[in-house]
Structure 1
């Protein structure tokens, strides 16, 4: 095979698999898009704010119990010949921790209910929380297994099934049973558990321990890689939680509800984030093992930056229509959406610029990334949330993720993944300016957003040329991948 055909096939296969992994998240996003206005129509912001705290604690406990072994599993996958035993060794500790939490909750349900909901009466809901954490851990490792095997269709179908289960249960609860925060909690929890039961049955071969052997050397290596990720993940969780925790401290459940509903709108970009990262992580590891030229990584980075920035402006142009679907009670969400959309954009793009960290196995650098991001988050939340509520929290989140991107990119560059990101910083600056402009409710904001789109296109004209060259099937060796913008 000629180098020209090899290059073309590499990028064509990349695009095909990316599209395959995107089917589920995109379809899931469509289902979620139906679920959000349905929920916000029947449930007021105060109740929605309470429900968000359940999801917040669920995320915190789930991530802690992974012990970084989920990331270690992806790192070891392509270098391991015994993949089933690798899966089972990686799952062992997180699953044991999740079951320990469930047992503690079952012994002290009232205390757990008090911590979660500020009420000691919701014992069944507390136990459901514990079951859901166990379910989440199992789901996490099964989905990683599908990702690493690059089974795009199966991965997508699972995403669709989970979202569909939650939608149907939400309909049942808000129409026939109740219209408070527990409707959101029960529908999300039961839907998730039902979907995960299907996963366990469908992939039960992963839990066949007949040939299991505890590989202490492997487990030690994975823990050595994963333990720093616990601290990094804890900082990341805190980074993603400080907005709502700050609102809970200095504001009220109404502001939390508005903020959470806006996060759901920003989830339209998180769909792209999920689709891309689900495929990109195993692909990047494989490319690294195959010794792919850095130009391939740069093409992907520039392309995802272009895509995410264009989607950002599209959301700004239609933000009034999108927010209208939530119900009039959530009208203030239109002032937050631009800032909260920066979070999935910056995280997704950073996944293409941080690879030097994981390739060098220096997972401890994630701790420094978390600290660098969380300090400005705390400072801005303290300054802005008491006065501006949800708007202040949204600004704090966006600024902290800019520091998150800078730190990830810097440490990656220092560890071998060196390509120019000048273009990235110009585009990010323009997006931040656009977010502040959209705080104003003025007649000329539509024109300003169109001008922003033009500016973004001008600064990324080289990326457009690269994509056009690939589309026309020209030799990728001829692409101009200089260190300039």
Structure 2
């Protein structure tokens, strides 16, 4: 199969679980934002930000390490998998027991002394998900995308179902009759904690479905291989951790950096987090691309035309991301109903966050240089530089500009990382990227967005009509310039 067609088909299948499945999951955002006050939703956002940091640490970069050594040809794939999996299981078991013992002091430290149960619920979710990630990596490496997608969709379905069961059925039953069967399952003191409980149950179901990848693993733990594996993978932890700093530190830090009282800060955090969800389409497409792209880049690296193909991939990726940027920003008057009315005061952050995530996707494409040349320490340096930019700008801008400062900090961070990664890639793994086309499409997207603001706010054109005309213009231009080339690339080889 043509390599671009294979990558596109794999991305589409992962997209079923990532885009469609997680889109269903994100439909819970209206439920949460229409049910809970911004300050309550801020609690959930804060904990999920912490979980983002810990999730990176608890996988130890072994996903990428597994792909690297599986395709290296020096070790049997079963041995690489068994070595990675057994270490992750042992490490996460220890992590869960530690947080279970420390739940009360940690809850007090985070200013939730009345809810120590949040700590061990979150620890259990993280441990289950970390083990699951290694099993999912095996499915990706073996190109079992359909099974991967099916398990993801089932996990999301369980999460959605339990949230609806607790927050809608049980809560309403409690309000009608606290002594009824369903009403007895709702405890107002738990409140947003039911979101964690639903997630925990879904993660457990997922691990059960991954049983064939976890039971009777062929191959034994190889100590010598593990030393090489962890040496390669640990810089990926630094890269991943720095990436989470860039992606989630804003939500973890707003409670502490905003210049208001705790209740108001949590409310602002809730508003920012809810509006962040409106960049869902961009985030989910990038996630689907990552699932398909990482094993593809490693597997195709030995082909003589690999670098030319990688350049074509970036070009197509940017076209699709600019389309998503325009789709959301030009139809923001429709997308805003995705969140409750009290949260819509923060809509101004959406275009900035969409553009920031677009640049993150470009960085994902450019970062192949350090993965394919084993220069993960240099890659970690790029990520750490981005993290330093994020931290500095959050400390500077959030107390002055509020959550808008956090959005701009994210955008600047990813712009810096793209520039650094491109410069280092030119030296260590030069790929003939068509920069004129990449920047041209970015500029076109921003110009059309600016034209929409002028047509709606100054010319008085209806927002839906203006958005439709401008989106059609983008599609026409993209098809004229690259449509035939992309379709040609997707034909069978």
In which range does the TM-score fall when normalised by the shorter chain?
0.7 to 0.9
Is 1:255 the equivalent of 2:268? yes
Q: Does 1:102 align with 2:96?
A: yes
SS in 1 for 2:347: helix
Match of 1:193 in 2: 200
2:213 to 206, 210, 221: 206
Conservation of the 8 A alpha-carbon contact between 2:321 and 2:358: yes
- Aligned positions of 1:6-25 closer than 5 A: 9-25=2-18
Instruction: For residues 284-333 of structure 1, give each alpha carbon's deviation from its aligned partner in whole angstroms, at most 9, with x where no partner exists.
Output: 11111344442221211101110000110010011122112312111123
Counterparts of residues 20-59 of structure 1 (less than 5 Å): 20-59=13-52
CA contact (8 A) 2:255 2:269 kept: yes
Residue pair 1:298, 1:419 contacting (<8 A) in 2 also: yes
Measured at CA, do residues 258 and 433 of structure 1 come closer, stay the same or move farther in structure 2, by a change above 3 Å?
farther
C-alpha contact (below 8 Å) 2:382/2:420 kept by paired residues: yes
Contact 1:338/1:438 (CA < 8 Å) preserved in 2? no
Q: Which residue of 2 aligns with 1:354?
A: 367
Aligned-residue offset at 1:16? 2.7
The aligned counterpart of 1:113 is: 107
- The residue correspondences of 1:282-301 to structure 2 (distance < 5 A) are 282-301=295-314
| Native 8 Å contact 1:88 1:207 kept in 2 | no
Report the TM-score when normalising by structure 2. 0.85
The corresponding residue for 1:482 is none
Q: 1:170 to 1:448 in 2, by over 3 A?
A: closer
Q: CA deviation at 1:424?
A: 2.3
Distance 1:180 1:268 in 2: 33
How many angstroms does 1:110 deviate by? 0.7
Cα distance in structure 2, aligned partners of 1:211 and 1:380: 48
Q: Which runs of 5+ in 1 are unaligned?
A: 1-5, 477-485
Residues 53 and 241 of structure 2 are in contact (CA less than 8 Å); yes or no, is this contact kept in structure 1?
yes
Q: Which residue of 2 aligns with 1:88?
A: 82
Distance change (3 Å), C-alpha of 1:234 and 1:436: farther
- CA distance in 1: counterparts of 2:189 and 2:144, whole angstroms: 36
Higher mean Cα deviation, 302-311 or 22-31? Answer: 22-31
- 8 Å contact kept, 1:250–1:385: yes
**Matched residue, 1:236:** 243
2:335 corresponds to: 322
> What's the offset of the Cα at 1:183?
4.3
1:213-224 matches, cutoff 5 A:
213-224=220-231
The Cα offsets for residues 246-282 of structure 1, whole Å up to 9 and x where unpaired, read as 4222321111111111221112211111211111111
The Cα offsets for residues 89-110 of structure 1, whole Å up to 9 and x where unpaired, read as: 1123333232222212222221
Q: CA offset at residue 221 of structure 1?
A: 1.1
Q: Distance in 1 between matches of 2:44 and 2:190?
A: 7
**TM-score under structure 1 normalisation?**
0.86
- Give the drift of 1:181: 10
Please list the CA deviations of residues 146-186 of structure 1 after superposition, one character each: whole Å capped at 9, or x if unmatched. Answer: 11111111111122112211211211222224698954443
- Alpha carbons of structure 1 residues 415 and 462: separation in structure 2 relative to 1, 3 Å: farther
Deviating more after overlay: 339-348 vs 437-446? 437-446
Alignment partners' CA distance in 2, 1:365 and 1:240: 20
Aligned residues of 1:354 and 1:411 also touching (Cα < 8 A): no
Pick aligned residue for 1:425 from 439, 456, 473: 439
Q: Of residues 316, 325, 328 in structure 2, which corresponds to 1:312?
A: 325
Q: CA deviation at 1:431?
A: 5.2
Structure 2 spans left out of the alignment, 5+ residues: 172-185, 259-264
Query: How big is each residue's C-alpha offset from its partner over 1:34-88, in whole Å with a ceiling of 9 and x where there is no partner?
Result: 2111111101211111111111111111211222222211211223553233122
Paired residues of 1:246 and 1:385 also in contact (CA < 8 A): no
Question: Given the superposition, is the C-alpha separation of residues 301 and 166 from structure 1 closer, same or farther in structure 2, using an over 3 Å criterion?
Answer: same
3-state SS, counterpart of residue 119 of structure 1: coil
Question: 1:242 offset after TM fit, Å?
Answer: 2.7
Give me the whole-angstrom Cα distance separating, in 1, the residues matched to 2:89 and 2:41. 30
SS in 2 for 1:402: helix
Superposed CA RMSD in Å reads: 3.0
Alpha-carbon shift at residue 363 of structure 1 (Å) = 0.7
What is the CA–CA distance in structure 1 between the aligned matches of 2:269 and 2:188, rounded to whole Å? Answer: 15
In structure 2, how many angstroms separate the alpha carbons of the residues matched to 1:260 and 1:381?
15
